[in-house]
Structure 1
Amino acid sequence: AACQMEKKGIATEKGELNRNIQKANRLIREIRAQIGKLKEWIGELFKARETAPEQTPQSPGLANLLMKYLSVQREKSRKYSQSWQRQHAADELKTIAAAVNYLSEHGISNLDELDASLSSVSDKAYSIREGMKTAEQRMKELQKLMEYGRNYQTYKPIQDEYRQIRWKGKQEKFAEARRAELTLWDAANRYLHAHLPEGVKTLPISAWEKEYTALKAQREAEYETLKDTRAEVAELQKIRKCVDIALRADQPAQTQSRTKRQEQER
């Protein structure tokens, strides 16, 4: 029934849940992909650090790199008008302030700690999604229980009337006329007998509805938390961009210094 309604453009609770599940799956894939890229980037920086023997093994301070980024951007902006420079500087300061605040709040000062933080964010996102999946599975079960429970209650009077007819011909005629309702009741009866404990006399539809509402609210809250995690990863991507620019700006100076030392050694 829900499928038919969805085909006609009528939204159903079942269809809405399926759409929300798809949205959550896309979101977690996006988060994990972005974290994967960040981890790969950090891994490349670690490799570069290991292959540079003249460099200290200590992980570079992110705060210093962010300040270096500001200096680089300030130098780049000198060729533009004063008004553009002021606006650009204000925008860059906002970016760096947000980055510094994030790093400070999460106790991150270098690449090693950033790497550990990424693992933590990834684990958190995975844990949230797994919790959502548990709720979603139960919501699907409740949807079926409520659907069949309502059908059972709605069509039971028709089933009772059918069973009370003693004359076979009249009973068959009644069954033919009310075949759809009797079929729905029979399907509901079989499903409920298969999925409810023995001895249940009254269908707890009201309790199912309350549980479903609570799970729906819980799932929506968890989805918002997952969106917050995506925003967190987006902030880390901004930090990556700034750090990349700062590191690239340092490379020419490091190359010159290395060349000078090599000449002195000769």
Structure 2
Amino acid sequence: MAIIDWMREWLLEGGGRDPIAIVISAFALFFAGISSFVTIRNKAREDRRTVRTLFNSVAERIIDIQAKNDEAWVELQKSGDQLTYNLRLKANNSQLGTFARRMGDLLEELGREVSATDHSLLATAFTASRDPAAERHWTKAVSLAKTDAEKIAYIEGYAAFLYQVGRIESGRAQYDEALRLGAASGDYKESVAGRIWHLRAVQEYNAGLIEEMEASFARAEEAYCRIGNAPIRNIGLQSVAQQRDSLRKASGSSQPPITATPGV
């Protein structure tokens, strides 16, 4: 509109001797501006595609390293070689920290294109490397989650981070929030509750709170016992029993097995 107004004023005031030439020049200038805008926009899009490609590449490296941590854990269960496990974990988590920082830089460039999954992956890497930046990405992942199931998963990760940094009560509050959301899961609510209490038990153990660990495992058992589907119920109860026995052995606890009555 500014160009058109300028053209009208120029013509009415006799500012040019060749109105046709003026009009042609004005439109040439106008379309040159559009062309420049399109070029800049396309360049920006290309740059963003490049950043996204780099972001995805770094994300793949983080996933690979996390898989190595999982493999190391499986080997530990077989061999019991805690020293080797700790060394592998330390080396892997050092790499995670490096890649997480790189991924964080790329994430800032992507801005609004970043999803909850992107934030959760970055938060997981920062958590493993004990970087405080994990909290910002956990909370962002939770806020961007599209479903309650997705939100519960991110809250569980956030709670684990809070336990890791010694904010036990805040971590418990997050698990309580996950339980509240899980209560609306219909037929799956007991399975969800069992998993949440199970995860909380592990974090209580990591914090050195053995009595609280036992209490959380008991709540997990109670939830699993309320599941009507026998195969799913048995899988849940078996996972609790195995994990609890393993952690009791590691902590030197000699407490008797905790039982739960079905239907409680």
TM-score with structure 1 setting the length: 0.28
Structure number with higher relative contact order (C-alpha < 8 Å, ≥ 6 residues apart): 1
Quick check: which has more Rg, 1 or 2? 1
TM-score with structure 2 setting the length: 0.29
